[in-house]
Chains A and B, each alone.
Chain A
Amino acid sequence: MILSIEQDTSRFRRIVRGQVRQNLKKYMSNGELIGRQGKDLVSIPIPQIELPHFRFGNGQGGVGQGDGEIGAPIGQGDPKDGNGKAGNQPGRHILEVEMTLQELVALLGEELGLPRIQPKSKNQIEGEVTRYNGLRRAGPEGLRHFKRTYREALKRQMISGTYNHERPAIIPIHDDKRYRSWKTYPRPDSNAVIFYMMDVSGSMSQRKKELVRLTAFWIDTWLKAHYPRVATRYIVHDSAAHEVDEHTFYHVRESGGTCISSAYELCFKLMRREHPAADWNIYAFHFSDGENFGDDDDRKCIQLLTEGLLPDVNLFCYGQVQSTVGRQFMDTLNEHIEDEKMATAKINDDDEIYDAIKTFLGKGV
């Protein structure tokens, strides 16, 4: 049943979108707030809008109850909301609730208006699942179904009249025993692989990497919500490219020139060898600050992209982080390649992460 208040709620959400955008930006720019705590929980406030009123400024204090010396601190947060008496303005606090990553993803999708991804249909059947959903009369004792066995024994004793109310002991015999049994089902699987490529040449500062990390977090979160299994590969490059693990990816710092084609080449090689497009949904993201060594390499990049990467990937995104140089790789890409599988965005500060994600994932592929 749809409640009449749903109208108000969706109206509220629409209004908040303007405002929550601020809030959402705030999470996204503040790395600490996102972190996966324990299982997959993050803390998120419930959006509240408070209309202005003539009211008193802060710091009026109040009256409380309980033990404690003068000067002793009392409870966390804003005590005014707790006492709930006349004379309190409600809603000045923000209630922090824990939100699961799934909800965060839903929120992300809703706030950014991201389309759901339709995984490429892969004909291939991969793996099978085992489900214990049947019963058998024979089996190992370890799989004995206690409740069903008990029931059978009870039934038998009732029917045969050996059940004694005074002493309701139920003793199963061999025929009563029931065992769990399993079946295997084929499971069609669509897998995704994400390639993160990043320029780690001298010009990529810690700050730039932080921007990359935040963007990557949201991309990860979004893609993982759509694919049962997501493999992530990390490639760093300066003038040569290497595959690294996640930690190294975000922390390594090298110096030297920049040769973007090396990364594309490595990515292409890995794709060919380990993630053939027939079996995988491939996402490739490349972050750099827009510097590249010379026109030759640019040309090589274009060639690699158009002939190697783009035909196979679902999506190729290029994020240009805080570029300072005049001639930028992003412009080169946009000049030479026109492909709906490619998206480019500039990420100059925290706020632009939001727009970049929208550009990248807004394609819904």
Chain B
Amino acid sequence: MPISTDLLGLQATLEDYARDFGLDFAEIRYEMLDYRMLNQVAAYDGFPTRYPHWRFGMEYERLSKSYAYGLHRIYEMVINTEPVYAYLLTSNQRVDQKLVMAHVCGHADFFKHNLWFAHTNRKMLDEMANHATRIRRHVERHGIDRVEDFIDACLSLDNLIDIHAAGIRRRPPAAGEADAVGGNGDSVHKLPAKDYMDAFINPPDFLAAQQQKLQEAEKQRQRFPAEPERDILLFLLEYAPLENWQRDVLDIIREEAYYFAPQRQTKIMNEGWAVFAHTHLMTEKAMTPDELIDYAEHHSGVVATAQGRLNPYALGFELFRDIEDRWNRGAFGAEWEACTDERTRRSWDKKLGQGRQKVFEVRRVYNDIGFIDAFLTEDFAREHKLFTFDYNDDEEQYEIASRNFKEIKKKLLFQLTNFGQPLIEIVDANYENRGELYLTHRFEGVDLDVPFAQDTLRNLFKVWGRPVHIETPTEEEGRLLFSHGPEGGVWRKLN
């Protein structure tokens, strides 16, 4: 349902304020939904149509149940498309809608300017609908059970993507290019030299080293894949013996995984930025005096931290505020870092006034990892009472483990690296010369969830068709190799 004229007017006013503030965004279209529709759209990750799959139904049930029992409600939702689509809940008061619109302006600005979103498909609305059609067609032809079973197998692997793939090229250049760069590759490449200098410029040991390099390169070429492959879904798409419809399904799952990746990479920043935007727009311009109480209540609800848990909205928002303040005061750089006198630090003010400029820059170039790494300072952690927690097996509860800044930062960054998912690569697709897939898990200090890993392996086997293996280091037992083949799953210790 389109929004009322009144709200359209409100939208125009707010967007003017937002532009004055410096935000810049694509056209925003609001849809008014009742809670049932809103729950549906939320279950569909913000899209009006998705392919048929039970997991959306599961999410819908969960949302509906918890809405019905007053456990939570969704105020707003916005998706990264062009034009930007955002949804409003019919039952919200006008001041809520105002707050939501101001918030959405922040998100829309972020989608447009944050570099991690630069590669995303802004026509995803159409793309999702196309995916739905394609999968429905496969379902009609092959039956829901077969297709769904395969979708489940793919979904089970959908975190095996290379989240940096959009930004860098890992694959060696294609064959034609390689020739151009490396020459004819077979004979040792001598440095150009006159005859009488040749023995000095190209001494025998140099040539021998070159020869060895070549041999290694040759060996490398025989390995397949030549470099460890992190985009496992792509690899499967290219090399797994799939039927056409299966390849299509896998392609869809992969495309959607990549579409959603930047949102997971910038959760703290994105939400923080939207709160930052709505705070400024509302408190400086948009709010009328009689809306103050309602606004304050909802804003504090958004940034509340419950039971010692980090709230990405609050963390991002406070960090942006901290950055703005520090760059206004000039509280950064070597001189600042060197200063240890608490009183000087507190009254530090170089009157630089670069705060606003800095936050806009930050929202453009960082993602969550960089954001936390660069701007989470010891002062900030202390001021906001951050701590790390761990599970205490004896007490069977989570307990505060430390308030040490280094620990906090390390843990936070670890959670953000690769979405807090294990780094897994394909190192050999022809293991033991039997066409078996060999994966390794790069150890980050935390063991894999073993039962889950074994089940995932079974799904990988379903896609790859030949036995699959994953090598994973564990803290207590050293390196383990889990395998799954036609006879089921087995595991053994390595060396």
Contact = CB atoms under 8 A, between A and B. Distances in A.
Contact of B390 (A54, A61, A69, A85): A61
B190 interface: no
Interface of A: 3-13, 15, 46-49, 51-76, 79, 82-89, 95, 97-98
Most buried by A among B54, B391, B412: B54
Interface stretch (B19-27, B151-159, B218-226, B275-283): B151-159
Contact of A85 (B66, B155, B312): B312
Contacts of B430: none
Contacts of B160: 54
Contacts of A15: 54
Given A49-B54, A54-B422, A84 B311 contact: yes
Interface in B386-415: 386-393, 395, 397-403, 408, 411-412, 414-415
A57 B475 CA distance: 12
A57 B385 CA distance: 27
Nearest to B453: A54
Nearest to B39: A5
A63 B61 contact: no
Contact of B415 (A8, A46, A85): A85
B445 to A, nearest CB: 9
B58 interface: yes
B297 interface: no
Interface in B258-290: 264-268
B431 interface: no
Given A11-B54, A74-B308, A52 B455 contact: yes
Given A56-B449, A82-B306, A98-B69, A63 B415 contact: yes
Contacts of A73: 392, 395, 397-400
A54 B56 CA distance: 21
Interface in B356-390: 368, 384-390
A52 B53 CA distance: 16
Nearest to B61: A9
B448 interface: yes
A76 B307 CA distance: 8
B189 interface: no
B447 A57 contact: yes
Interface residues of B, number: 87
Given A59-B391, A63-B387, A65-B305, 10 more contacts: A5-B56, A46-B61, A49-B54, A54-B159, A56-B420, A57-B446, A63-B388, A83-B310, A87-B419, A95-B66
Contact of A62 (B52, B415, B446): B415
Given A63-B310, A71-B400, A88 B66 contact: no
B171 interface: no
B49 interface: yes
Given A5-B43, A71-B400, A85-B415, A57 B62 contact: no
14 contacts: A12-B57, A53-B157, A54-B422, A55-B422, A56-B422, A61-B391, A62-B388, A72-B400, A73-B399, A86-B265, A86-B420, A89-B420, A97-B69, A97-B71
Nearest to B404: A70
Contact of B60 (A9, A63, A84): A9
Contacts of A11: 52-54, 57, 144, 148
Nearest 4 A/B pairs, CB to CB: A87-B420, A75-B307, A82-B309, A8-B57
Contacts of A46: 61-62, 65-66
A55 B452 contact: yes
Nearest to A48: B58
A56 B306 CA distance: 25
Interface in B230-251: none
A85 B270 CA distance: 11
A76 B308 CA distance: 10
A74 B392 CA distance: 11
A49 B310 CA distance: 26
A38 to B, nearest CB: 15
